[in-house]
Amino acid sequence: MNRKGLPMVSLDRRTVLRTGAGLGVVAAAGAVAGYELLGSRSTPEPWHPPAPVRAAAPDRRRLLVIEMAGGSDGLSMTVPYTDSRYRDLRRRTAIAAEHVHALDDRLGLHPHLSKLAASGVAVVPGVGIAKPDLSHFEMLYRWQTGNPEGLIRADTGFLGRLCDHLGDPSAPAVGVALGVGSSQALACERVTTLSVDSGNDGLFPVFDDENVRDAWLAAQRAMAHPDRTDAPSFATARAGTAAALRFSDVAATLTPAGDGYPHSDLGIQLRLAARLLADDNHGLRIVHVPMGADFDTHTKHPGRYEKLMKDLDDSLAAFRTDLARRGMADRVLIAAYSEFGRRVPDNDSDGLDHGAAGTALLLGPVNPGVFGEQPSLRALDADDNLRATVDMTEFYATLAESWFGVPATDVLPGSPRPLPGVVAA
């Protein structure tokens, strides 16, 4: 539970699946060719995305945020396929021009993002901060708190502050993180947010014997009942248990899961996310999905990144199909980001080291295309990293202001402006 001062509720998915009991609240596809070291400079087919879906009214909108932790390489996700400098710097890991899905005459999506390309996506290259840090932990903290400089240790997260603006304090959960452990991104002050595990579809707990489950729940409900004599720490524990039980009751009433999802961690997360977001009765507005895959590709980048992109492509395609079946295509904005990108030159292990600016994606009711400026490969910083051309707060301002109608200055430092024209209003 993430009301300020209260703990989040979570349980490791592998533990849940192993024991069978525990806290669970806790269009066009096709095979594409793989990598070539240098590849052809031929031009890929022009991009013809479908017409965008127009966004629903602001009070009906939902947000799903995918966190690609580990440092996803923006130059592999969106390839500068016409820039000879790209091939000069990436002698081992460059992607052939004819294999990308062209977004315009400069950038193309990774070969294994074919479904995403066919359905339409808004790409934001060069997202980062002016003074980056190469530490995963520090940069994840800055992104989760919406604090680009990291100078102020925030008590709340960016998504949590959005929840405070959007949600009802009486709701079982305004924001939910589908991951292991607490989520700083959803730390808030006014409403309830939860960190839950997706392995048990949000149910608390899972027992094969219904009689054992009923007895266990009865005991937990009794322990969750507040007592005015409780010490503060005990009162907090009771409140956390009560929040988990309340959300479990909600999860038990969700509509059935959709089909067609891959059997990956991301597929399982998004399958539950669709069910949660489709529920209009319990006040949920934001779902945060920490992607469990490893984007830290210091070695063997081409093959590893190919698998990551295929999982992302298949999972997002299934999720968007599920939303459309539920009549939610115009109501859910999908945002995906990584805490930083990778260094531009590849290393001697067919890999890429920690970098700076990366690439973010926006899907759903958006105008397809490239928004913002592609960083120059001829003006790298002292560490051979891309310089940010879109500040992290500008990307976040687009989620807050353009999507939810929440003034960016209410939830972010400074006076960031949203990227114009992204949302198909």
The CATH number for 73's domain is 3.40.720
Determine the pLDDT at residue 95. Answer: 98
Domain membership of residue 418 (yes or no) is no
Domain membership of residue 6 (yes or no) is no
Average pLDDT taken over every residue of the chain = 87
Closest CA to 284 of 183, 399, 173, 168: 173
Domain membership of residue 422 (yes or no) is no
Determine the pLDDT at residue 5. Answer: 38
Domain membership of residue 377 (yes or no) is yes
Domain that holds residue 136: 13-411
Question: Taking the CA of residue 298 as centre, how many other CA atoms within 13 Å lie in the half-sphere pointing to its CB?
Answer: 3
Domain membership of residue 423 (yes or no) is no
For residues 200-219, give the mean pLDDT: 71
Determine the pLDDT at residue 25. Answer: 39
For residues 277-287, give the mean pLDDT: 95
Query: Per-residue pLDDT tens for 291-332?
Result: 999 999 999 999 999 999 999 999 999 999 999 999 999 999
Determine the pLDDT at residue 1. Answer: 45
Determine the pLDDT at residue 30. Answer: 32
Instruction: State the DSSP string of 227-293.
Output: -TT--HHHHHHHHHHHHHHHHHHHHTTSPPPPS---SSHHHHHHHHHHHHHT--SS---EEEEE--S
Contact 192, 1 (CB under 8 A): yes
Closest CA to 253 of 290, 224, 282: 282
Per-residue pLDDT for 204 more than 80?
no
Number of domains in the chain: 1
Query: Per-residue pLDDT tens for 224-250?
Result: 677 777 776 666 666 667 667 777 777
C-alpha distances in Å from residue 260, one per residue of 316, 318, 362: 11, 6, 22
Domain membership of residue 420 (yes or no) is no
Closest CA to 90 of 346, 273, 326: 346
Contact 144, 185 (CB under 8 A): yes
Domain membership of residue 424 (yes or no) is no
Confidence of residue 11 (pLDDT cuts 50, 70, 90): very low
Query: Per-residue pLDDT tens for 124-164?
Result: 999 999 999 999 999 999 999 999 988 777 899 999 999 99
Per-residue pLDDT for 406 more than 70?
yes
Percent of the chain whose pLDDT exceeds 90: 72
Determine the pLDDT at residue 247. Answer: 79
Query: Per-residue pLDDT tens for 168-198?
Result: 999 999 999 998 777 899 999 999 999 888 8
